[in-house]
Structure 1
């Protein structure tokens, strides 16, 4: 993405100033410096050593107060910036800490979000050109100037501004820069919505879907499954919609326009893409469990289950389109994408027929629940389709981890 050299110098000056202030004024000097450097204005993903410093500061070995302080600083960094680069790098740090960090961070972030809404940045927009950003800073400083030295600095800045303005008039990339910042700002807002939904899903499920390990139902079992495979009826009907909403936000994280080719956004998109495999695996295991219990449900629960089943079919189509879109990303070229299959529409008719016979409330009359060949066939087909995805999912883990 084309940027002016003076803008880079100006942003670098801001970053170095913040680092200097952290060294002097901060009680958590090391952590503050790591946060500033990990989320600086350099158009490149956060450096690994700074992310590791933040992961260590939020580990279980550190006091809860340290974790809360880290979240506060990340929140402040996110809400105060008007740079899409700083915003997306801050979200990347939060995302990686959610994925790789200690559960303490997720718990504290959930508590903080209920008070401060850290990830709600729906109004975020980096609408400043390099020239406009510098001009805005000069004007703001002008109104704060009270001393002669301040006025001298303002005059110096203004002279520099006029010189740079003459250079900008000769440039033809202003519109391109504007489009780039708008496209990237739009993706930042979408990314924040996904992370917010991820946190909400953690609140409902009481565990993190990405850090969960697949387990076998018995020692003799040949395949491992998500815990949604063994959930009770009530928990399943509560958790599957939360997972489906999370998948909806994930599919929406498709960079467009100038954002599509940006390396930092592609890096974040790859993190989002990796999460789709476990989310959809958990949904498939949940659908198998749902179908197994469907013909024993009351009408009220069966209606909920049918809506979940219908949405699962639609989301399989949307996720397949999302995978096709992501295959064009440079950072996703080595990914092994799963093959998604759907049950035939006739299954829905069978489920809708059962709902007409099921009682309104209470236990289901066993005479109404006929273990017919159609019901058994439905279960077998869903088991086969979801098991096929499971094998593709295992290959995905091998290629992406």
Structure 2
């Protein structure tokens, strides 16, 4: 069995400038998915190929490893994560051919992403792209401390993915096209988990202490920046040939939400991190904030001169393999699931706005004018008998069947 798996690994990483052959990938998947099969030997063979001086061999080795990470038994990525180091290709450069200069750039970026994917598994003991999603999923039920430790790990991995930064004109051969499709697939899964973690963070924001609020606000602001970068990444995917219906819709978040989070943090700093009880009045506003919805089924690989079709994410690289996610809870979505994957339904945020009064030194509350939204007052001096009036946002989230949000980022 060892010789046959070595043969398949070598067959997948030949010096022919074409994507790894499906038959070799299928053989490797069969090997690592069999019970009690050691993956160390296979990892060693592929790692050795990744140390070649040829950009073709190295790139194919990375694509093969990524493919096995995504579709293979968890023991494979588990083993990669246990290694002291995975790839050291930050200085890789193939000067032997003209194409080598351009492809070497993407090899360096791609290897960094696979390193981060492996490191993330080591840090949180799971592949974040394969965890259960939805209302009762891992990111939605994680406690605040775990969430504040996990989200930065996701952010780092997401940054490495988006840093691949290829434009359609640079996706000129089957190898880099295969890598891009694998990255596109990971981007949807990773952002889905990322988005659900942010929803959880906002659900609990007003119950956090000051230091937790500071960290959460920083994470949320960074999330918005990464969402904008993902929009550009998805635009490249569409120009590359991924069908528009397979690309998620990203909705814009009102700027007032950030202001409300900052406002609450400022109130905690004024109160020296002592949480005072809120006096809630009737809600005067209700906003729908759909951040991430998608009707993604799957994405086929782009063949030379062909349109990408929704058959599977790896095209000729893979057969009809599933994404590997845990099943979506039936109560989370009522729409029938597409052939391969549906990242739950549209995520709807219900932002219930309440007028809140937090009183310092038991002072008399300032009366509210009906219909007016109060704004923060200036910081009171020490021992002052004044009230701080600000707006508290009670965030509730729910999953609805997939539909287009009211406001959509348009890809033109």
TM value normalised by structure 1: 0.69
Separation in 2, partners of 1:256, 1:370: 53
The 5-angstrom pairing of residues 44-83 of structure 1 reads 44-63=18-37, 66-79=38-51, 81-83=52-54
Per-residue CA distance 1:301-332 (angstroms, 9 max, x = gap):
100000011011111111111111221224x2
Larger gyration radius, structure 1 or structure 2: 1
From the superposition, tell whether residues 371 and 278 of structure 1 become closer, same or farther in structure 2 (CA, over 3 Å): farther
Separation in 2, partners of 1:280, 1:181: 31
Q: How many residues align?
A: 304
8 A Cα contact 2:134 2:140, kept in partner: no
Gaps of 5+ in 1: 1-26, 130-177, 218-225
Separation in 2, partners of 1:76, 1:261: 26
Bigger drift between 203-212 and 389-398 goes to 389-398
1:100 to 2:71 alignment: yes
2:259 to 345, 349, 353: 349
Deviation at 1:89, TM superposition (A): 0.7
Separation in 2, partners of 1:286, 1:353: 22
8 A Cα contact 1:341 1:385, kept in partner: yes
Deviation at 1:83, TM superposition (A): 0.9
Per-residue CA distance 1:27-77 (angstroms, 9 max, x = gap):
8211111111100011111111211222233235134xx311111111111
Q: Secondary structure at the match of 1:99?
A: helix
Deviation at 1:125, TM superposition (A): 0.8
From the superposition, tell whether residues 215 and 270 of structure 1 become closer, same or farther in structure 2 (CA, over 3 Å): same
Q: CA RMSD in A?
A: 2.8
Paired position in structure 2 for 1:134: none
Deviation at 1:359, TM superposition (A): 5.8
1:294 to 192, 199, 205: 205
From the superposition, tell whether residues 335 and 267 of structure 1 become closer, same or farther in structure 2 (CA, over 3 Å): farther
1:282 to 2:201 alignment: no
Paired position in structure 1 for 2:247: 337
Per-residue CA distance 1:112-138 (angstroms, 9 max, x = gap):
2x2xx2222101111113xxxxxxxxx
8 A Cα contact 1:229 1:286, kept in partner: yes
Separation in 1, partners of 2:4, 2:64: 16
2:109 to 186, 190, 193: 190
Deviation at 1:259, TM superposition (A): 3.6
Separation in 1, partners of 2:143, 2:127: 19
From the superposition, tell whether residues 399 and 269 of structure 1 become closer, same or farther in structure 2 (CA, over 3 Å): farther
Separation in 2, partners of 1:296, 1:213: 25
Deviation at 1:187, TM superposition (A): 0.5
8 A Cα contact 2:297 2:340, kept in partner: no
Separation in 2, partners of 1:35, 1:272: 21
The 5-angstrom pairing of residues 310-325 of structure 1 reads 310-325=221-236
> Which structure ranks higher in relative contact order (CA pairs < 8 Å, sequence separation ≥ 6)?
2
Separation in 1, partners of 2:338, 2:107: 29
Separation in 2, partners of 1:359, 1:399: 51
8 A Cα contact 1:35 1:74, kept in partner: yes
Deviation at 1:268, TM superposition (A): 1.1
Which segments of structure 1 move beyond 6 Å, counting only runs of 4 or more? 360-363, 394-397
Deviation at 1:96, TM superposition (A): 0.9
Paired position in structure 1 for 2:290: 385
Gaps of 5+ in 2: 300-336, 342-412
Q: Secondary structure at the match of 1:58?
A: helix
Deviation at 1:236, TM superposition (A): 0.7
Deviation at 1:233, TM superposition (A): 0.3
Separation in 1, partners of 2:244, 2:23: 25
Separation in 2, partners of 1:29, 1:40: 17
8 A Cα contact 1:202 1:209, kept in partner: yes
From the superposition, tell whether residues 33 and 360 of structure 1 become closer, same or farther in structure 2 (CA, over 3 Å): farther
8 A Cα contact 2:78 2:121, kept in partner: no
8 A Cα contact 2:129 2:193, kept in partner: no
Bigger drift between 338-347 and 91-100 goes to 338-347
8 A Cα contact 1:334 1:399, kept in partner: no
1:40 to 2:14 alignment: yes
Per-residue CA distance 1:195-246 (angstroms, 9 max, x = gap):
11111222233221233343553xxxxxxxx421111000111111111222
Structure having the higher helix fraction is 1
TM value normalised by structure 2: 0.67
From the superposition, tell whether residues 231 and 361 of structure 1 become closer, same or farther in structure 2 (CA, over 3 Å): farther
1:244 to 2:141 alignment: no
From the superposition, tell whether residues 394 and 29 of structure 1 become closer, same or farther in structure 2 (CA, over 3 Å): closer
Q: Secondary structure at the match of 2:224?
A: helix
1:358 to 2:268 alignment: yes
